Chains A and B, each alone.
Chain A
């Protein structure tokens, strides 16, 4: 079987996803046995011209959110060349932390892209470099610009799921035995496809099927929301469910697979794997879940709890504001685009 051609690129982000790929233990160089890395600017120093020389790319791992015209152009170019496009990490999959900028437009470099005119055209004086790529009016996820075939969520994605995606999409099941450590957490349809050496269904998410709560090791007793606590206040670092202690933990609305990584560290889940199956809007679901378990029927007591809540929007959509907040998100590109 000929080597697959792969591309790895980060738009607006922090390089953590690329570093996560680089850090798939000492096996990263073994990629060379099944893949030719055609385009990886951060690590291999590839240029756009390297990409342009290729008729096509087999798999593109695209990380980072779309924030500038340059990001958009990169997404379009890579989509055009790539047989499979993988949104890698929370920024590419859902908009990620950069998406919080959508709540605060004035934060964008003086409110207007530097080096551009009012109509968004780049200024270019003789002897001065090209202007900066104009900022988009809002931060978007990859799937809102082009079709994404697969998703590997997380901030950054855990290594087992990255390996699962690489092994199944790049190696196409050549060595399924190496997938066992990830397969147990993958949805059945994906793990079966991977084990059989065929591509998983388009749109598959390399993550768990159930919510984080299902794998969280904390003790759940009775869902009763008695008081609201913020994480600087006193709470049990281990043991009892954080939500039951009054912290806004999003394990009930977030897709699992991480094994409850944050909650095991004594920190509430913030939803970097995106919403769980069958949830329409994770923030609305959180409001519904909390309000239905208020441990009071007294309107004044309930009002006192509610008054304490701060920044629900920035908390419930920490990683997903551009795509999963029903009131603020833009539609994704449909899967028919080729």
Chain B
């Protein structure tokens, strides 16, 4: 049996290696994360109030969910202004994250670092204007500036603390935030037009990716109003809401020997799941669950859209309706829909930024609620740009961390990434593409999740 290895891969947050074993009839692809993040090992023994600053190691949004855990652990409710500032920061993170992914997608058709003048590639570029990638990065910089104003740093924010945020905004920042929100909204609208004209739909740039989709899968999301976590089975039309503290009673993490990233799965068998055999192409991780009939889920923008009937933000809802016109009603499980979901949420975040980045929302008499006592257990969930994330901490009486449990999007989407990788390999090879093209297909398939 031959094998092909792709390492490293573009745009992946973790170091990833993909190995494909193949002969004339058989292809089996392994998606391996090759280094652990080890948040538990890093956090154990630290004072619990330091965790929002430490766990930004995972992604900027882990800062916010970590502060939410501290609110619960110390039994305090942040003042409204602090909640607005945290939400304002989260929306800047959404905008920045989604825009970067769309930038990466466009960069797959044109190397942003090629020297146009020297190599004469200007003539070859027809899909989008020459300066378009720079414009995207300019608006990326604007959203980063908003995140810096609100959070201190864009990638590793500082502002969220136990019971609120760490400081008031300076007077001069209100006007600037409002300007940034307007710029971002205008650009998001323009970008939406561009993607509809050039990227989505029949005969457009992503047409070849229509078949890149997985079997219907449960989505794990949070319900905004109740604060519950919901397992949405869009096929069976069933929802299973539960309190966040039950998350690891419902969700299990399985550590396979060949990857550092655990496989998140729903505990217990499901009637809707058909029996899979380990030898079946694409199902190599079923071998990790011998004798059981595991059910899997995914998180992220597409999982969120699959679970929602309408969006409150008008421009985002318009874009969602356009998606339905072209791709059909939800649920969707394909790569094109996943990119479109990024665009919908980009618009949504820009609209929310314009609502939140006003003086009235970001001013108030207090920034923090000072705790009067310390508990020993806390947990929280948050819909981050990448998908639902969950933290659970247990401390000793001095507030020193004894146990940390984190459900990150890497584990939550690990099965989905394995399935998509296999799908991309199967389709690409069936079309007779080169292995280099197959790698490109894999990278583009994984990017929006």
- Chain A positions near chain B (C-beta within 8 angstroms): 3, 12, 14-16, 19-20, 22-23, 25-26, 28-29, 31-33, 36-37, 40-45, 47-48, 67-68, 70-71, 97-98, 100-101, 103-110, 114-115, 126-133, 135, 155-156, 230-234, 237-238, 261-262, 264-267, 270, 310-311, 314-315, 318
Interface residues of B in 129-152 (CB under 8 A from A): 133-135, 137-138, 140-141, 144, 152
Question: Which 7 A-B pairs rank lowest in CB-CB distance, beginning with the nearest?
Answer: A107-B41, A266-B166, A41-B8, A45-B10, A16-B155, A26-B138, A265-B152
Question: Which listed residue (A107, A131, A237, A314) contacts B38, Cβ 8 A?
Answer: A107
B12 surroundings in chain A (CB, below 8 A): 42
Question: Are A231 and B42 in touch, CB under 8 angstroms?
Answer: no
B156 surroundings in chain A (CB, below 8 A): 16, 155-156
Question: Are A311 and B400 in touch, CB under 8 angstroms?
Answer: yes
CA distance A264 to B167 in the complex (A): 8
A158 to chain B, nearest CB (A): 9
- Enumerate 10 A-B pairs (CB-CB under 8 Å) in ascending A order: A12-B15, A97-B42, A107-B38, A107-B44, A109-B255, A126-B1, A132-B259, A237-B167, A265-B152, A315-B47
Question: Which listed residue (B15, B35, B70, B133) contacts A29, Cβ 8 A?
Answer: B133
Question: Are B370 and A233 in touch, CB under 8 angstroms?
Answer: yes
Question: Are A29 and B137 in touch, CB under 8 angstroms?
Answer: yes
CA distance A20 to B141 in the complex (A): 10
Stretch at the interface among B111-119, B182-190, B216-224: B111-119
A315 surroundings in chain B (CB, below 8 A): 47, 50
Question: Which listed residue (A25, A28, A101) contacts B42, Cβ 8 A?
Answer: A101
Question: Are B53 and A270 in touch, CB under 8 angstroms?
Answer: yes
Question: Are A25 and B138 in touch, CB under 8 angstroms?
Answer: yes
Question: Which listed residue (B11, B40, B58, B167) contacts A14, Cβ 8 A?
Answer: B58
Question: Are A29 and B134 in touch, CB under 8 angstroms?
Answer: yes
CA distance A110 to B49 in the complex (A): 26
Question: Are A33 and B115 in touch, CB under 8 angstroms?
Answer: yes
Judge if B45 is at the interface, Cβ distance under 8 Å. Answer: yes
A78 to chain B, nearest CB (A): 13
CA distance A107 to B39 in the complex (A): 9
Question: Are A262 and B152 in touch, CB under 8 angstroms?
Answer: yes
CA distance A29 to B156 in the complex (A): 24
CA distance A103 to B46 in the complex (A): 10
- Among B12, B115, B140: residue with most chain A CB under 10 A: B115
A104-B42, A106-B41, A310-B47 known; A44 vs B257 contact (CB < 8 Å): no
A114-B260, A232-B70 known; A25 vs B137 contact (CB < 8 Å): yes
Q: Which residue of B lies closest to A35 (CB)?
A: B113
Question: Are A15 and B13 in touch, CB under 8 angstroms?
Answer: yes
Judge if B243 is at the interface, Cβ distance under 8 Å. Answer: no
CA distance A48 to B5 in the complex (A): 12
Judge if B162 is at the interface, Cβ distance under 8 Å. Answer: yes
CA distance A101 to B168 in the complex (A): 34
Question: Which listed residue (B74, B141, B153, B155) contacts A261, Cβ 8 A?
Answer: B153
A231 surroundings in chain B (CB, below 8 A): 49-50, 161-162
- Chain B positions near chain A (C-beta within 8 angstroms): 1, 5, 7-13, 15, 17, 19, 21, 28, 30, 32, 34-36, 38, 40-42, 44-47, 49-50, 53-54, 56-59, 70, 74, 100, 104, 107, 111-117, 133-135, 137-138, 140-141, 144, 152-156, 158-159, 161-163, 166-168, 255, 257-260, 367-368, 370-371, 374, 398-400, 440, 443
A42-B11, A237-B167 known; A20 vs B155 contact (CB < 8 Å): yes
A262 surroundings in chain B (CB, below 8 A): 152, 158
B181 to chain A, nearest CB (A): 18
Question: Are B161 and A232 in touch, CB under 8 angstroms?
Answer: yes
Question: Are A28 and B112 in touch, CB under 8 angstroms?
Answer: yes
Question: Are A310 and B38 in touch, CB under 8 angstroms?
Answer: no
Question: Which listed residue (A23, A67, A101, A314) contacts B141, Cβ 8 A?
Answer: A23
A27 to chain B, nearest CB (A): 8
CA distance A100 to B441 in the complex (A): 37
B117 to chain A, nearest CB (A): 8
B153 surroundings in chain A (CB, below 8 A): 156, 261
Given contacts A15-B13, A41-B9, A310-B400, 16 further A-B contacts (CB under 8 A): A12-B35, A25-B141, A31-B113, A32-B116, A41-B10, A47-B8, A71-B35, A97-B57, A109-B260, A132-B258, A231-B161, A231-B162, A232-B163, A262-B152, A265-B159, A318-B54
